[in-house]
Structure 1
Amino acid sequence: MKDIFKKTSFKYGALGFMIFIVAYFTMWKIDLGLFLNPLVTYPILIFIFILGIYSQKQAKKELGGHLTFSSALLYFVVTIAIAFLGYVSAGILIFHIIDPDAKKELVELTIQASIEMSNKMLGWMGMKEVAGQISEDQIRDSMKLSPTPFGTASLVIGYISNLAFYTVAGLISSLIIKKDRLYEFE
């Protein structure tokens, strides 16, 4: 089982790691606004989830069709943990080592997106008279209370929270995928 564990979890985890690296460097080169676009970031996250499930299914297949709940969860979590290290590595490489100015530009893009979104939301709620009153300074003041987007603290918090969320999803998929061996009486 140890060989299958190493082979399966690390292979799919490394694939997820590389997906994050390639996707983040591509988004950085094309347009920083892509980091804020859910139509770009969510498919990456969904694909990583699918990799975790596929890791479970592959392990079950290699173990002869039987996989305990705890083993299924372990395959999933290790795959996801390795994959999300790509998220952290890419963030540190891009925003701290290669191009620290990109982080400042991304903060500005985040502020603009926040203003636009709050104005839209207030307009939808029938508060159009209040919609134009939110300023960049107010957004900057509120951002001082939280870690800087793609800062080290933000990346670590993102890694931990993603791992926690995906672990809950992994619990559900482990319940579905598991198949214990039947107990044999002597």
Structure 2
Amino acid sequence: MNEIIKKNGITFGIITGVLSVLITASIYIIDLKLFTAWWVGILSIAIYLGVGIYLLSKTKKELGGIFPFKDAFTTYFISAVIGIIISVTFNIILFNVIDTEAKQTVQDNLIEFQVNMLKKFNTPTEVIKETVEKMTEENQFDVVAQLKGSVFSILFSAIFGLILAAIFKSKPSHLE
């Protein structure tokens, strides 16, 4: 593997992980209800996307513009996996070691948020009750649930990575 790809993937993975930790810690300190705020999710995605775009443009430039699809995807994917590992590790420690009561508060906030959304869409009461029961049974902040969630985050990141790699790959030269 090219050293530039490896170095940038690792460096930006650490940057992404630290950003995620800072976002989570800020929400934790400011107000736990922000975990259910839609704009926080959008802002977080925008930040991660911006970091990914910067990562790929920087790496392409450092490689002299020769950036095959595979290398672009690999660079982004390394970064994403490292960022996710750092983020999930912090979340596990925060909600299962440091402040176990916070995970219940956030879980309650998520249930309340979901119920309000379902009511806005005139969802039948029976469906709302089933949803609440399922959410009560599955606490997404438990260690196993967070590890499962990290798998989905990696898959979601891979899709982003495929799209960004297609955008940033160098165009093949037709000089034969």
Pairing 1:34-183 to 2, within 5 Å after superposition: 34-122=34-122, 133=125, 138-143=130-135, 147-179=138-170, 182=173
Percentage of identical aligned residues: 24
User: What residue identity is the alignment partner of 2:71?
Assistant: S
Q: Could you say if the C-alpha distance between residues 167 and 46 of structure 1 is closer, same or farther in structure 2, counting changes exceeding 3 Å?
A: same
Deviates more, 1:176-185 or 1:156-165: 176-185
Cα separation, 2, equivalents of 1:46 and 1:155: 22
Cα separation, 1, equivalents of 2:129 and 2:172: 61
Deviations 1:50-85 (A, max 9, x none): 222222211111111111110010001111111122
The Cα of 1:137 is off from its aligned counterpart by 5.9
The Cα of 1:121 is off from its aligned counterpart by 1.1
User: What residue identity is the alignment partner of 1:11?
Assistant: T
Q: TM-score, normalised by structure 2?
A: 0.88
Whether contact under 8 Å (1:88, 1:155) holds in the other structure is yes
Cα separation, 1, equivalents of 2:68 and 2:2: 14
Whether contact under 8 Å (2:80, 2:157) holds in the other structure is yes
Q: TM-score, normalised by structure 1?
A: 0.83
Deviates more, 1:8-17 or 1:43-52: 43-52
The Cα of 1:7 is off from its aligned counterpart by 2.2
Whether contact under 8 Å (2:18, 2:87) holds in the other structure is no
The Cα of 1:87 is off from its aligned counterpart by 2.3
Unaligned residue ranges in structure 1 (runs of 5+): none
Q: In structure 2, the residue corresponding to 1:148 is in which secondary structure?
A: coil
Deviates more, 1:93-102 or 1:163-172: 163-172
User: What residue identity is the alignment partner of 2:149?
Assistant: G
Cα separation, 2, equivalents of 1:136 and 1:173: 38
Whether contact under 8 Å (2:115, 2:132) holds in the other structure is no
Cα separation, 2, equivalents of 1:115 and 1:181: 51
* Rg larger for: 1
Unaligned residue ranges in structure 2 (runs of 5+): none
In structure 1, the residue matched to 2:24 is 24
The alignment's C-alpha RMSD in Å is 2.4
User: What residue identity is the alignment partner of 1:176?
Assistant: I
User: What residue identity is the alignment partner of 2:169?
Assistant: K
The Cα of 1:181 is off from its aligned counterpart by 6.0
Cα separation, 2, equivalents of 1:96 and 1:136: 28
Cα separation, 1, equivalents of 2:130 and 2:87: 30
Deviations 1:3-44 (A, max 9, x none): 212321111111111101111111111111111112112211
Whether contact under 8 Å (1:56, 1:72) holds in the other structure is yes
